[in-house]
Chains A and B, each alone.
Chain A
Amino acid sequence: MPQPTERRTALAQLARTAAVALPAVLAGAVVTPATAQRSGTLLDALLLILRVEWLQEAFYSRLLTAPTVVPAAIQPDLALIRAQQQQHVALLENVISTSGGVLPTRPTYDFTGSHGQTTPSLFPDVFTSADTALAVAQVLEDFSVRAYQGQLASLMSNNDLMDLVVRMYAVEGRHAAHLRRLRQQRGASVKPWISGTDGDGPIPPATAPIYAGEGQLEQLATVSVYPPVKTSLVALLPTLPVLTDAEQKAAATEAYDEPLTTAEAQRIMALFVI
């Protein structure tokens, strides 16, 4: 973690002049000054997102290292995704470090989930079975979508940074749909979107934490009205004979991805860190 003095410098810098660190396409945009109170969560949010990208980048890099279990036909797909994760890493590291933030040391990963063979493996054949490898890839993309989403509100104090992050976030959604489609074509029963809690994910129970909370049937519809009003998404849909109860509920959960809190995201990432 950054030292206190460095951290204060980074927070102030992020609040004021983050656009300096952004690529040319974003430079020149108006930077909204952030409040001092919000700055802390802004840096914390960027650091958490960076850890999510590190995790994914490390996974694809390891997965694509020869000899790889990934069929030749889909290696270009994964290489493309990996390249974009690397770009996201580079951008985030650039923004953080040029704002005076200190980049933490990159973790060492164990994608079997055995923490360096100190605990039972969650995914023992992750690099020897193509199906397991693609399942873990999907899980990491879905995780990424949910983890990003959980940080958005912390970025509201700086519109340029939020803009940068939401545009990475949308790319993660496209990646997730592609991985799901790849798995579907290999016979997995999975949609491009998360349906309910997706049966606790492709490899339950190990993947259950990544999908916990995705089965929400209603959304909070009001912000400052007390008591808060929740809208039932199921009630928005036609009923039998058009749709069964199960179909209504599936659609209601699929239409919204759900955020992971910082603590939840950290716990999930810890599954893969030695």
Chain B
Amino acid sequence: MATPNHTPAPDEAGIGNRLLQPIDRRLFLRYTGVTAAATGLLLAGCDDDDNNSDSNAVNVGTGDFGVLNYAFALEQLEAAFYTQLRTGSYYTGLGANSAEKQILDDLALHEKIHADFFRAAIPANGGTLIKDLEPDFSSINFNSKDSVLKAAQDFEDLGVAAYNGAGRYLSNPLFLSIAGKIVSVEARHAGLIRDLRAYNTFVANDVVDVFTPTPGSNGPTPFSQGTGTGLERSKTPSEVVAIANNFLKSGSKLNVSGIS
């Protein structure tokens, strides 16, 4: 825990691998509120015959329910992350009233609410839930502030990019509305975590296409010449799961080939 805030040690992930056992499955399931009955749910769209994907993968399905299950999966991953970080000495070493503890506690609750909302809403509308996923956070060192906050930033940025990229696949306005209510909160999370790690990086170029004006081009219309759009970068579902699957165990990795 002597790791300085702004100097990530290159071997942190390796240390994490040795120090941390994967989260106890019962703990994860208890946190995410799963019941014994729910663990037996069939996968949505499991008749998909995409031979290129892991045959063991969780297919999120098609149509609006495919998108909702995709969101459910990402929210499960985030919720599990904020639960597991509580086992690490970074979190347990935070003062009871420290700003970081309050922030991480808030984030854990928000993501649990998001995940459990989808858990309720998908079947309430006649859809079939994907199963509860088993995370694999072995690449994260939960005893290191930098490792934890870097992972938090990556998950939050990924969540924003995922919601933005998936909006076009929703056809029901109410589902879009729900996604809209959530994505701006994820953006608040992402901006805040970035500022915690490195001040004023809340809209850095890796997540927002920052406009760079052409030198000397400031005419009557500001920023009329240059590159960049001021838009959040978004990711397609397949781009997102290529990252998310690194944090899911075999049998819990996602297949989003049905979303189109």
Contacts and interface: CB of A to CB of B under 8 A. Distances in A.
B113 A233 contact: yes
Main secondary structure of the interface of B (DSSP, over half): helix
B224 interface: yes
B188 A87 contact: no
Bin the interface of chain B by size: 35 or more
Given A159-B168, A219-B178, A177 B202 contact: yes
A76 B202 CA distance: 13
Given A172-B184, A177-B187, A257-B184, A163 B167 contact: yes
A220 interface: yes
A171 B232 contact: yes
Contact of A145 (B124, B174, B184): B184
A192 B223 contact: no
A178 B222 CA distance: 24
Contacts of A169: 180, 183-184
Contacts of B228: 87
A257 B163 CA distance: 14
Contact of A257 (B116, B126, B185, B195): B185
Contacts of A237: 109, 112-113
27 contacts: A23-B229, A84-B208, A84-B210, A86-B230, A87-B229, A87-B230, A91-B230, A149-B177, A153-B176, A156-B176, A159-B168, A163-B168, A166-B183, A167-B232, A169-B180, A171-B203, A175-B202, A181-B195, A193-B106, A219-B178, A219-B181, A220-B174, A236-B117, A237-B112, A251-B110, A252-B113, A256-B181
Interface of B: 33, 99, 103, 106, 109-110, 112-114, 116-117, 120-121, 124-126, 160, 163-165, 167-168, 170-178, 180-192, 194-195, 200, 202-203, 208-211, 221-224, 228-234
